[in-house]
Structure 1
Amino acid sequence: MADAFESLYEQGFQAFHTGNHEAATAALVQALQLRPDHQRAISGLGMVLLGRGLYPQGWALYEARKSVDPTPLDGGDIPEWNGDPLDRRRLLVWPEQGLGDEIQMARYIPLLKGAGRVTLACSPPLARLFGDLGVDIFPTEGAAPPPADVYVRNFSLPRLLGTTLETIPPAPYLRAPADPKRDGVGFVWRGDPTHPNDARRSLPSPDVLAPLGEVAELVDLQTPRGDFLDTAARIQGLDLVVTVDTSMAHLAGALGMPCWVMLPAHGTDWRWLRGRADSPWYPSLRLYRQTTPGDWAEVVARMKADLAAARS
C-alpha cells in the first residue's frame, strides 16, 4: 500500500507541475483513499483545486499545511481564530511563505480592522509599506510576538472570509508616494534563488529582455534600493513593470500599477490559475505564459509586439 500511495502521490504532483490539474486531482484523491490522514497530500490537493479556481474546496483542504509548516504561535498560549465575531478582541495576523504572499494576503486587513484591534505581523522590509493599512504593524524579526487574544495565519483568511473567485477583495489596496514621472519600463528578471521552482520561473540573464529595449527605455529594478515602500515609489513613476513571478508582481498589482508577468510553462503557481491572461487577484496585471518549457524568447517577442502597439 505504501508503494501505491507514493506512486499516486508523485503522479499527482508531477501532473500539477506540468499543468494537468485534472490528472493531479484524480491521482491525489486516489492517494488519499489509501492514506486519508496524509497532511502533505491533503494540502497538495488543496493547492491543485485552488489552481483550478475551486476556492471553497481548495481553501478548506489547504488548511492541512499547518501540520507540516508550523509557525512560532502554533500550540502556544494564544488560541487560533476560527472566524467567529472578534467583539473587539485583539487579533494577531501572522505571515506565511514569501514576501509576495504577504502582499497578496494584506488585502484582507481592511476587512478585519473594524471588528477588533488588529496587529499585522510582517517581514521587516514590508513594515513601512503596510503602515497605511490602518492597523498596528509588527516586524517579525528578532522580537517576541505581541500580546493578542487570538491569532490567524494570513493564508487562512481567504477560507475564514469565504473567498471565491468572484469575491476576492479588490486591488489596489496599498498606497505609496510616487517618484517623479519617468518614461520607461521597469524590469525584474529573477526571483529568490532558494525558491523550488526558481530555475524555471527566472530568466537565465537580463539580456533575454533586450528586445524590449528597442521600443522602450528599460529600468533595472532587480537591485533593491531601500525597502518595499521605496520600491513602490520607484515603480509608480514608470509606465509599466515587466517581471518574472516574484514579489514585484504582487507589489505592482497591489498598487494598481500596470504590470506584465512572465510565467513558466511548468510549475506555474496556483494563484495564476490556468490559461488566463488576466488575474482576478490583480486587475492591473497581464500574464504572459510560456508555450514551450524554457522558451522565454517567444514570450518576450509577444511582449515586444504588444508594447510597440501600445506606444504607437
Structure 2
Amino acid sequence: MADWAAAMRAGDHAAAWAISERELQRRDPARRDDPTLPYHQRWVWDGRPYEGRHCLVRCYHGLGDSIQFARFLPMLAARTASLTVEMQPRLIDLIAGPGGGIRFVPFIDAHPLPQSECDLEITELDFALRLTPADAAMPYLAAESGVLPHGCVGLCHGAGPWDPARSIPPHLLAPICAMAPCISLMPEATMLPVLNPDGCPFDMKATAALVGATDLVITVDTMIAHLAGAMGKPTWLLLKSDPDWRWPVGARGTPWYPSMRIYAQPSAGDWETPLAELARDLAACPALAAER
C-alpha cells in the first residue's frame, strides 16, 4: 500500500485512514487474523464497534511497534467495557504501570488468547480510534533512572536482522565516544570505549532506567528509538535513506516523538554524511559542553 505509506509519511492521517477504510471494505472476513499467515502479516480489526464492548488488543509486530502504539491504549480503554492487551512478555512490566484499568497478559505465539467481542491489533489503533500522535500525551512511558555521569550519551548501532540496512557498523560511532561519556544500549559486548563494555541488560525496565539516566540517546531505527522517544528523552535517530512509513522523508523531526531529531542518509549506505552532521551538532550541544 504505497499510497498509504506516502500519506503516513506526510502526516496526512485522514488520507491514510480513507485508504485503510477502502482496504477494509475489500477484505474477506474469513481471512481476519488468518492463522495461515505469519503474525506480522495479519489484519485483525474488521471494523466492528468497540464502544462498550470487551476488547482484546493483540501485539503481532515488533517491540518498537508495540511501544509506538501503546500511547493509544488508555484512550481505547476509556471507550470499552474492558480491555485486555496480549503483549510481548518483555514489555509488560514497562508498559503496564500502576492502575489504568487495562489487563496485560503475555503473548505466547503457540497459545494466543481466544477471540473477544472486539479484537484489534495494536498498530491498527490509530485507524480504529481515528487518533493522531498529537492526540496522545507525551511522554507516556517512564522508568526509575539509573545513575550515570552528567552528559552521558546512550548509543545503539544495531537493528533487527530482518533489515540490516538500518544498522551502522559500530566503529563509526567511536568518534562520539571521544566527545562525551557513552554507554551502549545494545544487549551484547562491544569494542567501543563505553562505560559498560558488556552491554546493557536484556531486561526492558533496566534498559529504560539506563535510557532515563542519559542526557541524549543516539540510535538507529530500532526499539531503542521508540523507547527513548516514548520517554521524552532527547533522541537523535540515524535513519537509512528509504525508511518505512513512520518517518517523514526529508524532515528533521517527527510528530510521533517530539523529542526526536532525525539524521537521514542522503543515499543508501552513506552513514558518513549524517554522522558528520550529528558530530557537529553534538560538539555544539550545551547539555554536554561541561563534559568536554
2:49 corresponds in structure 1 to: 84
1:107 to 71, 78, 96: 71
2-structure distance, mates of 1:71, 1:179: 43
* Higher normalized helix content (fraction of residues): 1
Contact 1:244–1:262, Cα closer than 8 Å, also in 2? yes
Distance 1:179 1:71, change over 3 A: farther
The alignment status of 1:151 with 2:109, answered yes or no, reads no
2:190 corresponds in structure 1 to: none
1:50 to 3, 8, 13: 8
1:210 corresponds in structure 2 to: 174
1-structure distance, mates of 2:248, 2:178: 31
2-structure distance, mates of 1:291, 1:59: 30
1:231 corresponds in structure 2 to: 207
2:194 corresponds in structure 1 to: none
1:309 corresponds in structure 2 to: 284
How high is the TM-score relative to the length of structure 1? Answer: 0.75
56-65 vs 292-301, greater mean Cα deviation: 56-65
How high is the TM-score relative to the length of structure 2? Answer: 0.80
1:178 corresponds in structure 2 to: 145
CA displacement 1:73-114 (0-9 Å, x = unmatched) = 99xxxx946363522x21101113211111100000111222
CA displacement 1:225-244 (0-9 Å, x = unmatched) = 13222211111111111000
The alignment status of 1:263 with 2:239, answered yes or no, reads yes
Contact 2:76–2:129, Cα closer than 8 Å, also in 1? no
2-structure distance, mates of 1:185, 1:160: 37
1:33-48, aligned counterparts within 5 Å?
Answer: 43-48=1-6
Q: Quote how far apart the aligned CAs of 1:44 are.
A: 3.3
Equivalent position SS for 1:222: coil
Contact 1:44–1:62, Cα closer than 8 Å, also in 2? no
1:50 is aligned with what amino acid?
Answer: M
Equivalent position SS for 1:208: helix
- Structure 1 runs (4+) deviating above 6 angstroms are 65-69
1:275 corresponds in structure 2 to: 250
Contact 2:17–2:130, Cα closer than 8 Å, also in 1? no
Contact 1:189–1:243, Cα closer than 8 Å, also in 2? yes
1:296 to 262, 271, 274: 271
- Consecutive unaligned residues of structure 1, counting only runs of 5 or more, are 1-42
- Consecutive unaligned residues of structure 2, counting only runs of 5 or more, are 38-43, 188-199
1:106-145, aligned counterparts within 5 Å?
Answer: 106-116=70-80, 117-132=82-97, 134=100, 135-141=102-108, 142-145=110-113
CA displacement 1:33-80 (0-9 Å, x = unmatched) = xxxxxxxxxx33212221222212213434649778945599xxxx94
1:30 corresponds in structure 2 to: none
1-structure distance, mates of 2:209, 2:93: 12
1-structure distance, mates of 2:4, 2:143: 34
How many residues get paired? 259
Distance 1:69 1:299, change over 3 A: farther
1-structure distance, mates of 2:35, 2:211: 34
Q: Percent identity?
A: 33
CA RMSD in angstroms comes to 2.6
Equivalent position SS for 2:90: helix
Equivalent position SS for 1:270: coil
Distance 1:192 1:208, change over 3 A: same
Contact 1:179–1:237, Cα closer than 8 Å, also in 2? yes
1:191 corresponds in structure 2 to: 159
111-120 vs 240-249, greater mean Cα deviation: 111-120
Equivalent position SS for 2:246: helix
2:218 corresponds in structure 1 to: 242
51-60 vs 104-113, greater mean Cα deviation: 51-60
